[in-house]
Every structure is written in structure tokens, then in C-alpha cells.
Amino acid sequence: MRKSVVLAISTLLLAPLGLVAGCGQIGGPKSAGQPTAQAQAMQQMLADVNQIRTYSYGSGDQASAQAAADDLVGWSGQIATLFPPGQASVDYVDMSPSRAAGAPGAMNRTAVALQESIRSGNRALVTQKLAQTEQNGCGFCHRSP
């Protein structure tokens, strides 16, 4: 009798767990844990900025910095596609519609100026343009107004 009581209680306690578990997708979505296209773009842009920073600090080479700047300009041209202004202000709670609309242009302008400074070979100018890119390009979205 004791065994049947324990079995009945166990069944009553565990049955709801089985029902709840059945409501979700078994194993989660296939994309779970994978970075989004937006996250991958941000990671690559950060890697480009870090490569350029290495050059501005004097330990990197101009060719690598130029390649990173070229890549950064390319990515900056894709921001409006990756973060459509009408949707970005909905998806990101701190992103106003005007901020989302202005971000692609701000990033592109500063990235192009940075790219041109690297072509000059003047590391002091590169450092200045890198700071402007981080402040006014990347910072257009990633810094509070």
C-alpha cells in the first residue's frame, strides 16, 4: 500500500512537468546560441577598429590598417540594411527613430575620413580620426545622447 501511495503522489507531481516541457520546442531553435547577422557585423567592425588602433599606437602596419579601414567602410554601408531605421527603433529600446535614421550616415562619414587618414600615413591624424569614428560614428548608437 505504501508503494502505491508514493507512486500516485509522484505521478501527480511529475505529470504537470511533462505537460509544461511539451509546450516548448524540444532542443530549442537551431539558431540558439548563434550570433545574429547584426552581432557578427558589430564583432567584425570592432575587430577592424582594434586593428586600426594597433596601427595608431605604432605597432601595426599601414597595409593591415588600410585593409581594416576598407572593411569598416564596407560594413558602415550595410548598417541601414542590418538595422533598418523603422525596425531598429522598435527592436532596441534606447534607439529613437531619428537616431536610427542618422546612424548609417554618421558611421559612414567617420569611417571614410578614417580610411583617408590611413592613406596619408600620418599616425597622429589616424589617432584623431579613430577617436572621431568611435565618438561620432560608433558612438552615434553606442553612447547615450
CATH number of the domain to which 137 belongs: 1.20.120
* Assigned domain for 79 exists: yes
Q: Is 89 inside any structural domain?
A: yes
Buried b (16+ CB within 10 A) or exposed e, 74-103: ebbeebbebbebeebbeeeeebeeebbeeb
Cα dihedral value 37, 56, 100, 41, nearest 10:
0
Residue 55 lies in domain: 37-142
Count the domains in the chain.
1
What average pLDDT does the chain have? 86
In this structure, is residue 58 part of a structural domain?
Answer: yes
Confidence of residue 94 (pLDDT cuts 50, 70, 90): confident
Give me the percent of the chain exceeding a pLDDT of 70. Answer: 78
Whether residue 130 is contained in a domain is answered as yes
- Does residue 64 belong to any structural domain of this protein? yes
Residue 90 domain-assigned (yes or no): yes
**Higher-scoring residue by pLDDT: 42, 94:** 42
The answer to the question of residue 5 being in a domain is no
Classify residue 109: in a domain, yes or no: yes
